[in-house]
Structure 1
Amino acid sequence: MSTPLLTTLFRVLIAPLTVLARLVAVVFGLLIGLVKALLAVLVLSVLVVAALQVGGVGVDLGPIEDVPIPGSDDEVAPGDPNTSTYGFDDGEVNSTAVEREIHDRVNERRTARGLDPLEWDSTVASVSRAHSKDMADREYFSHTTPEGDGPHDRYREVGSGCYAYGENIAMSWAGQPVDVDGETVTYTTNEELAEGLVTQWMESPSHRENMLHDRWESGGVGVYVTDDGQVFATHNFCRGLGL
């Protein structure tokens, strides 16, 4: 058999294999793209779940025999970070401003239902703020610390004078997209962030009950914002000895 004929025959046999190899490469490329897309969705889902985390401790109205004697009106809890901020292209959020916005919005919801507004308690707010920072620093989300200390233990460190207490916590993000009820939103102002956190609590029956309990006299909000925009919020409610 002549050389030209062998060459032609070889090309005829190889051509289908070349096409098949190209098809395999295309399919493999599509699979890689699909895997990357699925991983991206998974990561986004994890962030979305984290952005909507809330927690509430039940209302404790039983007598507490070792209630701390009230100290100064502005006693500061150990670990209180004071004000924290987070800046981004569209603006900046300030934890102190967010705390006051949350306090005002909670009182709006209470008075709209015929309940007394909560007085702002600086000591209770300091306890809340210290807990928010501790959750951020040690990467947990709970009313109980890794050592097992709960809200009552934190109250005992200061002269709060609370006879009974309630606590709501929440976590969200500032300046970054989060999923809220199937819609993507970005909190770029103190007002937007505060409204988002209060809405999270109001949409949860246990947190809503804490927020709208008719026996609370005072409360304090503590917000801590991390360097990457993660927001931890704690709202403590107080019933004094005279109630």
Structure 2
Amino acid sequence: MIKLKSLFSIVLPFFLLLNCFGQKPPLEKSIKSTDSLDHAPWDILLKKYVDEHGNVDYAGFKKDTGLLDNYLDYLADNPIADTAEKEERLAYYINLYNAGTVHLILEHYPLKSIKDVFRPWGKDWVRIGSNMYSLGEVEHEMLRKMAEPRIHFAINCASYSCPKLLNEAYTASKIEEQLERATSHFINDPSKNKISRDGVELSKIFKWYRDDFTKVKSLIDYLNTYADSKISQDSDIDYLMYDWGLNEKR
């Protein structure tokens, strides 16, 4: 006769397995820790196919999809731990998001807009360790939870109104300077925002993610941290139409 304790030890794991079936395990339980990752392959591709304005040569990039696949596999096989330094995590997920977005476009190229792709941010196809995630999850569940609003100027959605795709990889050692540069460039880019002392027309990024920019200060205070033309506190804010056209040279 099986003792009750022995029966419990057999049945309990079965019920735990049923309870977890169909659910993604918590990220920190499915990843390993890493001190440093090599983003040089992504850096080489960016320098080769992205110009200083963020325009992407997708036709040329398509010839190197194998190298891009290798880089995404490298990131997938070396997932970053939640206990890693914030700079390492930011560089990992920003590069993963951007490389993943380029990969998505190349899979469907030629096309006019990322919105021509079915559920571009909702489909689980980005591998991290043994789990699959969507680009939306990388942005909202990983990057935004780091409470770093400047990520919105670093990740690129393959569209003209998005912040430009930097033609260099983000790295932990340079992440602070890179985020500052990307933020300042985007806010002061007249094709993204039209800023004067008494009138402001902003990218809809500031509307969609307003809460991320106003946890500590007002939106105008945040903008004035970087804006070349300072904005008065009583300025009216309007939002520009968002151009979802593909970010390649016109």
Is the pair's TM-score, using the shorter chain for normalization, greater than 0.5?
no
Structure number with greater Rg is 1
- Give TM-score, length-normalised by structure 2: 0.29
For CA contacts below 8 A with separation 6 or more, give which structure has more relative contact order.
Answer: 1
Q: Give the strand-richer structure, 1 or 2.
A: 1
